Amino acid sequence: MAARIRDLSPFNADLKLKGFNVFPIEADGQATRTYSRKDFYKICLTTGTSRIHYADRTFEAKGTVLFFGNPHIPYSWETLSTRYVGYTCLFSEDFLSGSDRTDSILRSPLFKLGGTPILTITNEQRTFLNGLFQRMIAEQDSDYAHKDELIRNYIHLIVHEALKLSPSQEFDTQHNAASRITAVFLETLERQFPIESVDRPLGLRSPQDYARALNLHVNSLNRAVKGVTGKPTGAHIAERVTTEAKALLEHTDWNVADVAYALGFEHPSYFNSYFKRITGTNPMTLRQVAV
């Protein structure tokens, strides 16, 4: 079946601006959306027959399932039935960071590599979850001043409802060594943040640092992480360090030299070059825009 691919430039631009988007999945199963950005979390409630490839595992989905996608873990979706309905919610970590519950949500088993991202849903549960997605769609199109906070609450409610459910028994739970290594690496990486004091700078900054911490040869770590996620170890570290740098520049009064030191850079000029190479802008420009 040939899929119709839409012009999604306005969709992606709007998603980037708001940090979230909720929409129904096409009822005829003939249209697909393509997301050019890879930094969004995804929650899907779908009814139909499909095959989901998640990291190194495959799930055959029949009936209604609830799926949680992490931008750091590769996945793909094959629609097998002609009728395929449901809802999708996309949101960025920055959007969810408006809540003090962000850390616990994104650390939950639903979004972790070795966790349970796919759940089989009963008809009763589907009715309840459909209602939550429909409310989010209504709110995102409203003029309510606090709709962002309300949508965050709906996302948290969906996650907590999912945490109460048992993972699908059809999901292949066997993990190979590469998956285990990658899961431990990603969890160790996340534990280094947030940076809360200049006096306690980032201790692990390179693939070699993480390999030593995990008692692995750096080649073994790189091979596992690249094989499972599609990205090298250094890319994951750079993305997370840059995310933390943005947060410190936008939400603290630390000067650039302090931010550089806190993130493990010996000299501000090294940090400036690193930040510009990854983001395309320099730290002071980002801070001025944020102000």
Question: pLDDT digit string (tens) for 111-148?
Answer: 876 677 899 999 999 999 999 999 999 999 999 999 99
What are the structural domain ranges in the chain?
4-163, 177-290
Own/partner pairs, 58-64, CB within 8 angstroms, 24+ separation: 58/172, 59/118, 59/168, 59/170, 59/171, 59/172, 60/170, 61/118, 63/120, 63/121, 64/120, 64/121, 64/122, 64/123, 64/125, 64/126
Measured N-to-C along each axis, helices 283-290 and 233-251 cross at an angle, to the nearest 10 degrees, of 50
Second-level CATH architecture of 4-163: Sandwich (2.60)
Cα-only R_g, the chain: 20
Q: How far is CA 172 from the centre of its chain?
A: 22
Q: Does the reported pTM lie above 0.85? A: no
Side chain identity, residue 224: A
Q: How far is CA 96 from the centre of its chain?
A: 10
Instruction: Give the start-end residues of each E strand in 26-99.
Output: 31-32, 40-54, 57-69, 75-79, 85-92
Determine phi and psi for 276, rounding to 5 degrees.
-70, -35
Please state, in angstroms and as integers, the Cα–Cα distance from residue 190 to each residue in 113, 239, 261, following that order. Answer: 13, 11, 19
The whole-angstrom separation of Cα 66 and Cα 44 is 6
pLDDT of residue 287: 84
pLDDT of residue 259: 96
Q: Low-confidence residues of the chain, pLDDT below 70?
A: 1-13, 16-17, 27-39, 55-56, 74, 98-104, 113-114, 166-175, 290-291
pLDDT of residue 7: 44
pLDDT of residue 57: 73
CATH topology for 177-290? Arc Repressor Mutant, subunit A (1.10.10)
